[in-house]
Amino acid sequence: MLKFLCKIGLLVLALAVGAVWLVVLRLKDVPAPLLVAYGLLLAGSAAGLLWPGMLGPLSTRRRVLVFLGVPAGLSTLGLYLAVVYYIADLPVLLALAAATCLAWAAATFLRGRQAAGDRGAPQTRRAFLTAGAGLVLGAASGLSAGQVERHRREVLARSERQAAVRATGARRPILDDAVRVFPLHAGDTIVTYGQFYGGLDGWEGLNGYLRTLVDKAQIAVPVYAYLIDHPRHGLMLVDTGVNWEQAHDHDGYYNHNQMVSRLLTQRDEYRLTPEQDLRVRLARLGYDAKEITTVFLTHVHDDHAGGLRHLPQATVVLDRRDWEHGTIYPYSFDLVRNNLSFPAFGSGAFGPFPAAQDHFGDGSVILVPTSGHSPGHMCVLLRVDGGNVLFTGDTLYTLPHLAIDQVRQMTIGGADTARQLEAARRIQTLLASDADTVPLFAHDNTRYQSDLVASAFAQGAPGEAGLRRLRAHMETVLTPGWRLRPGHTPRFVAPTSGAPVGRVEFR
Ligand SMILES: [Zn+2]
């Protein structure tokens, strides 16, 4: 009886491990039918190993191993090679194979020595053959390492990118007393529709997180950073977008970060054209990345921190709680980790926010803590001529997200969700109480960003009239009670055949 229960326990454990593995493979876009067949094979193999007799009186543990275990093992390795890992890991896999061969050879050799006389000879021969194979594999591992490194360098040094980075700015910076803000479209990210818009449709908490891992209803959303050209405080950025490695050498980027994200993210998670490179975006406006003195980082997530690679001289201002408890991507932060500055949030309350930091002490930049999306998320309020702009970071992804009782992004835990909602409501209160403040979002994929923000900030300084136009548009989308008006509710539209991702329709 106890033995039976133990076997059931082992089976459950094996199936759980298998299920996790299948989720990982699904993340890497292995087709579902293949996964089902593979899952059955894994389940059959586990059950067969535990109950060797169940396939008929003739089957033995060994036979099950041969008929189910070996194919399952080999197909796992095959899928692993083909899908999860690719050329960059070849040296590692070859080295592992070499080590296995050498260990096997040593074991065989020792057994051969123990066996007396003639019976030991074939084993010794086999040991030498296996050791030879191990040495060949080891040499191949060493040789392929250089090859792989060259391949990666080629990917990162694409000529069209180099050309874009070298091209000089298309215009000269304007020198007057106006505070200027330029939205920088610094890449796109592929997300599940539910993670982005489905926070009220069964995408809550852990369940939502698991769904983002397997759901393939995906959309591409823009990643925005914002350049601030300030007459007194110089050139500053709010967030920094995605870097080239993230988009074009995704697995390599995550290798630098030594985290499981590599397994749990899609390889085409980010898109970045040469023109969207942060340095190129700045150059097209007549600026140079080297001139940026301060970066306000709303939070440490990689789609906001990637561009820090180009800003080793900048002071990076972020909430200490995000640095200590957030998900840090070391490669993004490598060059700036000695330039971090943590606001004390000691300037007293600011409107509906109980704490704030007046960054320069002159009211020009106010930082407000808005934890929820991440442990130390913050929003940035900038005084401009004619009003204020509020950089929401990821507290609200888009304009329709202001209707938080109808449209909500996903947060993971209960406390996070509560804090996120609290922060979102404070933003609502601030906007309601101050008609001269306009929100600027990090991922808005609506007309608000593509038409209205783009034209209002085309020259950087929207002025009172420009800000008023943005607020007027907001009123056509949202009621005073923060509900969406008809025609503005997001809906997922499945991709047409051939398109990699779906799109969002508003109706
Ligand atoms: Zn983001």
Determine the distance separating the centroid of ligand 1 and the alpha carbon of 20, expressed in angstroms.
Answer: 26
The answer for residues whose C-beta is within 8 angstroms of residue 236's C-beta and 6 or more apart is 227, 228, 230, 292, 293, 294, 295, 296, 365
465 or 43, higher pLDDT: 465
Determine the distance separating the centroid of ligand 1 and the alpha carbon of 148, expressed in angstroms.
Answer: 31
What is the structure's pLDDT at 78?
Answer: 64
Please, what is the Cα angle at 356 between 351 and 362, to 5 degrees? 90
Q: Band of the pLDDT at 135, cuts 50, 70, 90? A: very high
Q: Which of 43-47, 77-81, 434-438 has the highest mean pLDDT?
A: 434-438
**Where is 7: in which H helix or E strand?**
helix 2-27
Determine the distance separating the centroid of ligand 1 and the alpha carbon of 385, expressed in angstroms.
Answer: 28
List beta partners, residue 190. 220
Task: Specify the 3-state DSSP secondary structure of 188.
Answer: strand
Determine the distance separating the centroid of ligand 1 and the alpha carbon of 354, expressed in angstroms.
Answer: 24
Name the token pair of 312.
């080793």
Determine the distance separating the centroid of ligand 1 and the alpha carbon of 399, expressed in angstroms.
Answer: 14
Determine the distance separating the centroid of ligand 1 and the alpha carbon of 230, expressed in angstroms.
Answer: 25
**Domain ranges (residues) in the chain:** 2-154, 159-499
Determine the distance separating the centroid of ligand 1 and the alpha carbon of 401, expressed in angstroms.
Answer: 14
Determine the distance separating the centroid of ligand 1 and the alpha carbon of 303, expressed in angstroms.
Answer: 5
Determine the distance separating the centroid of ligand 1 and the alpha carbon of 459, expressed in angstroms.
Answer: 25
What is the structure's pLDDT at 342?
Answer: 98
* Residue 295 to residue 306: CA distance in whole angstroms: 12
Determine the distance separating the centroid of ligand 1 and the alpha carbon of 397, expressed in angstroms.
Answer: 8
Question: What order of strands is seen across the sheet that includes strand 340-341?
Answer: 270-271, 180-192, 218-230, 234-238, 292-296, 315-317, 340-341
59 or 103, higher pLDDT: 103
| Mean confidence (pLDDT) of the chain | 86
Least-confidence region, from 3-17, 249-263, 313-327, 465-479: 249-263
Which residues have CB atoms below 5 A from the ion given as ligand 1?
Answer: 303, 394
Determine the distance separating the centroid of ligand 1 and the alpha carbon of 71, expressed in angstroms.
Answer: 42
Name the DSSP class of 408: B
234-238 vs 357-358, strand pairing mode: unpaired
Determine the distance separating the centroid of ligand 1 and the alpha carbon of 442, expressed in angstroms.
Answer: 6
Determine the distance separating the centroid of ligand 1 and the alpha carbon of 443, expressed in angstroms.
Answer: 7
Determine the distance separating the centroid of ligand 1 and the alpha carbon of 223, expressed in angstroms.
Answer: 7
Closest CA to 239 of 305, 162, 327, 173: 305
Determine the distance separating the centroid of ligand 1 and the alpha carbon of 222, expressed in angstroms.
Answer: 9
Q: Band of the pLDDT at 7, cuts 50, 70, 90? A: confident
- pLDDT for residue 68 is more than 70: no
Average pLDDT (190-199) is 87
Determine the distance separating the centroid of ligand 1 and the alpha carbon of 416, expressed in angstroms.
Answer: 16
Least-confidence region, from 168-182, 239-253, 446-460, 462-476: 168-182
Average pLDDT (247-253) is 82
- pLDDT for residue 177 is more than 60: yes
Determine the distance separating the centroid of ligand 1 and the alpha carbon of 203, expressed in angstroms.
Answer: 18
Q: Which of 131-135, 347-351, 408-412 has the highest mean pLDDT?
A: 347-351
Average pLDDT (455-466) is 94
Least-confidence region, from 126-130, 165-169, 388-392: 165-169
Determine the distance separating the centroid of ligand 1 and the alpha carbon of 128, expressed in angstroms.
Answer: 56
Q: Band of the pLDDT at 175, cuts 50, 70, 90? A: low
What is the structure's pLDDT at 411?
Answer: 78
Average pLDDT (285-302) is 95
What is the structure's pLDDT at 169?
Answer: 67
What string of H, E and C letters represents the secondary structure of 453-484? HHHHCCCCCCHHHHHHHHHHHHHHHECCCCCE
Determine the distance separating the centroid of ligand 1 and the alpha carbon of 193, expressed in angstroms.
Answer: 14
What is the structure's pLDDT at 64?
Answer: 61
Determine the distance separating the centroid of ligand 1 and the alpha carbon of 160, expressed in angstroms.
Answer: 27
What is the structure's pLDDT at 163?
Answer: 78
Determine the distance separating the centroid of ligand 1 and the alpha carbon of 393, expressed in angstroms.
Answer: 7
Determine the distance separating the centroid of ligand 1 and the alpha carbon of 301, expressed in angstroms.
Answer: 7
Determine the distance separating the centroid of ligand 1 and the alpha carbon of 224, expressed in angstroms.
Answer: 9
* Residue 88 to residue 205: CA distance in whole angstroms: 34
Determine the distance separating the centroid of ligand 1 and the alpha carbon of 380, expressed in angstroms.
Answer: 15
Determine the distance separating the centroid of ligand 1 and the alpha carbon of 396, expressed in angstroms.
Answer: 10
- pLDDT for residue 324 is more than 90: yes
What is the structure's pLDDT at 36?
Answer: 83
Q: What is the pTM of this model?
A: 0.81
Say what percent of the chain tops pLDDT 90: 50
Domain 159-499: CATH superfamily, name plus number: Ribonuclease Z/Hydroxyacylglutathione hydrolase-like (3.60.15.10)
What is the structure's pLDDT at 390?
Answer: 98
Determine the distance separating the centroid of ligand 1 and the alpha carbon of 481, expressed in angstroms.
Answer: 26
Determine the distance separating the centroid of ligand 1 and the alpha carbon of 90, expressed in angstroms.
Answer: 32
Determine the distance separating the centroid of ligand 1 and the alpha carbon of 161, expressed in angstroms.
Answer: 24
| DSSP result, 341-374 | E-----S--BTTBS--EETTSSSSEEEEE-TTSS
What is the structure's pLDDT at 235?
Answer: 96
Instruction: Write phi, then psi, for 409 (nearest 5 degrees).
Output: -80, 165
- pLDDT for residue 119 is more than 70: no
Determine the distance separating the centroid of ligand 1 and the alpha carbon of 450, expressed in angstroms.
Answer: 17
User: pLDDT tens, 13-29?
Assistant: 878 877 877 777 776 66
- pLDDT for residue 389 is more than 90: yes
In the numeric block, the tokens 């799109």 are attached to 503
Determine the distance separating the centroid of ligand 1 and the alpha carbon of 424, expressed in angstroms.
Answer: 15
Determine the distance separating the centroid of ligand 1 and the alpha carbon of 394, expressed in angstroms.
Answer: 5
Determine the distance separating the centroid of ligand 1 and the alpha carbon of 342, expressed in angstroms.
Answer: 20
Determine the distance separating the centroid of ligand 1 and the alpha carbon of 412, expressed in angstroms.
Answer: 15
What is the structure's pLDDT at 489?
Answer: 92
Determine the distance separating the centroid of ligand 1 and the alpha carbon of 137, expressed in angstroms.
Answer: 43
List beta partners, residue 492. 504
What is the structure's pLDDT at 16?
Answer: 83
Determine the distance separating the centroid of ligand 1 and the alpha carbon of 435, expressed in angstroms.
Answer: 26
What is the structure's pLDDT at 428?
Answer: 98
